[in-house]
Amino acid sequence: MRVACIQMRSGIHRAENIPVAVDLIRKAAADGATFIATPEMTNVVDRKPRRLFEDLPFAEGLNEAETFASLAAELNIHLLIGSMAVALNKEFGQRKMANRAHFFAPGGGRATYDKIHLFDVDLPTGESWRESNTIEGGDEAVLVQTPFGGVGLSICYDVRFPHLYRRLAQGAADILAVPAAFTVPTGEAHWETLLRARAIETGSFVMAPALGGTHEDGRVTYGHSRLFDPWCRIGAEKADNEPGVLLADIDVAMVQDTRARIPSLGLERDANLRTYTL
């Protein structure tokens, strides 16, 4: 089957970002992709919470979800919108959003996943991020079973927490989706290594569509969307941060072959921790 990672550079206006995503998804489908994934925060990127929440609807009013659902049906594709910002029902002044992935099947089925691990860090470059100030994290891992195999959902900073991916793989995920908006310092240092590690540890395909470049709100993201096969070979890579489509042909049967060679998912054992003070 042919799959595609969409690389984008979302701005502060949802009404401008969605047509860009739609055009790139259509291009990928025209090139034969039947499973297409977009990056984290496909619908909006805005570091100013007040401005963001002024135009951010709750889930029932998120028109772009219906746009993408209709697109999946029209193009006969499985479509993962890596994540979209969705307002949660909080009192004014305490409002938060979900960083929510949306999976659309061509027949109308849907699944969602809320990012569990939030990016609260201070980088050596002086960049400081506190996603927990505006985002309410999820608490449930999500696996989507499709006719071509299981897809495990995750978002960006989740990639640093390998137990999530092992749980998804042990639950029959063949493809692990890691849509992201990585910063440049962490992207240059860790992006590829982390994706490779998740592929090796689980014997899964890893699809990682990313945001890239300098965004309208001043944020800079790394880009470099990637796809790794279960043996950790690069299936496809985008060597820049420009918007575009990354295509790859994959054979999902390779997952079971790889896991049969190295059956680590079935050999995992719990161990008590013994500490010595010497």
Give the residue numbers marked as catalytic: 40, 115, 156
Rounded CA separation 230/197 (Å): 10
Cα–chain-centroid distance for residue 157? 9
- CA dist 211 and 178 (Å) reads 12
C-beta separation of 173 from 152 below 8 A: yes
Question: 116 and 138 in contact (C-beta within 8 Å)?
Answer: yes
Cα–Cα distance for residue pair 260/233, rounded to 1 Å: 17
| Nearest-angstrom CA–CA distance, 174 and 168 | 9
Query: How many other β-carbons are positioned within 10 Å of the β-carbon of residue 207?
Result: 29
Three-class DSSP category at 156: helix
**Residue 108 corresponds to which tokens in the numbers above?**
């109308």
Residue type, position 194, single letter? L
Q: In 10 A of CB 265, how many CB atoms?
A: 14
Dihedral sign (CA 120, 104, 249, 204) = positive
Q: What is the DSSP string of 29-70?
A: HHTT-SEEE--TTSS---S-HHHHHHT--BGGG-HHHHHHHH
